[in-house]
């Protein structure tokens, strides 16, 4: 045989873009066999093909290892952020900071004691317009992010002033989604309104105007302790799950003194910024990795294969950064002079 089958396989991969450029058709592009037959390729001797294949096998094997490491990072970052929230709202994050300070104790308070609660209104779809005041709906709150560009709907600026006054959200308000898929915990998401913009509150979304540190309340609502209590109230049919406003209002959480709320928020933001920096590196590296196969194949068929991948070691470095941060977050194994007494009331 004058050609290696594996060489041809790699060669077609390297010609992917050139083949796609010759495709025709709209929604479903087609490739003509005759067009492929006209492609001009350089075919090295069989021994050289075998050397190229061996080199590509080695590089792509190494690339797969890098990808496997990289795939661990999003999950590790998610767990790390949740661990930060858990330690923040249970007082573990500020144990050492409390030492020697004259502070009050943490107190158990109902959610309706730490915020004014407003349930969204059932605005009618017949009143929706293409512009005006945007209505925040369930689809705009997902995974603790506010996505206003996700199927936006609006109400006219001439809306009843009383409705506008009651259901207009303000900067610093926190929104909590109350409906989702039963048993999947795909709701109960909390976001903070962080900009001045006229937005109205739709049904099945709860608005909270905090009378404590708004960031601390946001972290509290995102913590596992609150979410576990939240979903204990879940009702609904086979698919749809719901939690009522009165149920949310009745949930008791431990609230620290004002000064400690401020310190907790500062500590959480500092740790989150480190996680965000790692996530940014991850996204950059992932984009590089996604583009590497074509770059490698292009070099292979130009006789310019590199000795190693340009991303070699980067994924490992990111994993080591996360492990270091987790170690720093872990509670220190020493007897504390002063411990937080968490009220159970």
- 106: how many CB neighbours lie within 10 A of its CB? 19
Structure-derived torsion over alpha carbons of residues 162, 167, 171, 172, reported in degrees to the nearest 10: 130
Angle of helix 46-89 relative to helix 314-329, nearest 10 degrees? 20
Alpha helices in 90-201 (DSSP H): 95-98, 111-114, 161-167
Here the tokens at position 186 are 């795909």
Confidence of residue 296 (pLDDT cuts 50, 70, 90): confident
pLDDT at site 35: 61
What backbone torsions phi and psi does residue 303 show, to the nearest 5 degrees? Answer: 70, 30
Q: What is the mean pLDDT of residues 270-280?
A: 94
Confidence of residue 342 (pLDDT cuts 50, 70, 90): very low
pLDDT at site 332: 44
| 259 pLDDT above the threshold of 70 | yes
Confidence of residue 209 (pLDDT cuts 50, 70, 90): very high
Q: How far is it, in rounded angstroms, from Cα 250 to Cα 97? A: 30
Tell me if 83 sits within 8 A of 317, measured CB to CB: no
pLDDT at site 19: 60
pLDDT at site 333: 40
The full DSSP string for 41-91 is: -----HHHHHHHHHHHHHHHHHHHHHHHHHHHHHHHHHHHHHHHHHHHHTT
Which percentage of the chain shows pLDDT scores above 70? Answer: 77
**pLDDT tens digits, 30-83:** 666 666 666 666 666 667 777 777 777 887 888 888 888 889 999 999 999 999
Tell me if 177 sits within 8 A of 189, measured CB to CB: yes
**Residue 155 C-beta-side C-alpha neighbours within 13 Å:** 22
pLDDT at site 269: 96
- 3 state DSSP class of 142: strand
**pLDDT tens digits, 301-341:** 666 664 445 555 676 777 787 778 777 776 544 433 344 34
Contacts of 161 (CB under 8 A, 6+ apart): none
| 21 pLDDT above the threshold of 70 | no
What backbone torsions phi and psi does residue 308 show, to the nearest 5 degrees? Answer: -150, 165
Alpha helices in 90-104 (DSSP H): 95-98
pLDDT at site 191: 96
Tell me if 178 sits within 8 A of 203, measured CB to CB: no
Q: How far is it, in rounded angstroms, from Cα 139 to Cα 120? A: 14
Q: Is the dihedral of CA 91, 93, 98, 103 positive or negative?
A: negative
**pLDDT tens digits, 165-191:** 999 999 999 999 999 999 999 999 999
């Amino acid at each position: 045989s004058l050609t290696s089958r594996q060489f041809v396989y790699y060669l077609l991969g390297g010609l992917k873009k050139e083949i796609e450029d010759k495709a025709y058709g709209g929604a479903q592009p087609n490739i003509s066999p005759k067009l492929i037959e006209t492609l001009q390729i350089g075919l090295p001797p069989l021994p050289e093909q075998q050397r190229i294949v061996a080199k590509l096998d080695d590089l792509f094997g190494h690339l797969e290892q890098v990808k496997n490491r990289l795939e661990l990072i999003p999950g590790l970052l998610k767990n790390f952020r949740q661990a930060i929230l858990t330690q923040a709202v249970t007082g573990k994050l500020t144990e050492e900071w409390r030492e020697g300070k004259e502070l009050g104790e943490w107190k158990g308070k109902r959610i309706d004691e730490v915020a004014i609660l407003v349930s969204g209104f059932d605005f009618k779809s017949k009143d929706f317009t293409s512009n005006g005041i945007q209505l925040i709906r369930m689809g705009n709150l997902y995974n603790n992010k506010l996505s206003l560009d996700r199927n936006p709907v609006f109400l006219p600026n001439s809306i009843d002033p009383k409705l506008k006054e009651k259901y207009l959200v303000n900067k610093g308000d926190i929104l909590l989604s109350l409906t989702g898929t039963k048993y999947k915990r795909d709701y109960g998401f909390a976001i903070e309104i962080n900009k001045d913009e006229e937005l109205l509150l739709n049904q099945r979304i709860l608005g909270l105007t905090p009378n404590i540190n708004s960031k601390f309340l946001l972290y509290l609502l995102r913590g596992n302790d609150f979410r576990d209590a939240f979903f204990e109230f879940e009702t609904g049919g086979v698919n749809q799950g719901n939690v009522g406003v009165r149920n949310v209002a009745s949930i008791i959480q431990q609230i620290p003194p004002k000064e400690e709320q401020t310190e907790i928020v500062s500590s959480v933001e500092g740790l989150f910024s480190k996680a965000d920096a790692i996530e940014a590196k991850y996204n950059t590296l992932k984009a590089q990795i996604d583009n590497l196969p074509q770059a490698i194949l292009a070099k292979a068929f130009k006789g310019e294969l590199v000795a190693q991948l340009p991303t070699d070691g980067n994924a490992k470095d990111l994993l080591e950064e996360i492990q270091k941060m987790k170690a720093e977050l872990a509670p220190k194994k020493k007897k504390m002079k002063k411990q937080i007494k968490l009220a159970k009331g």
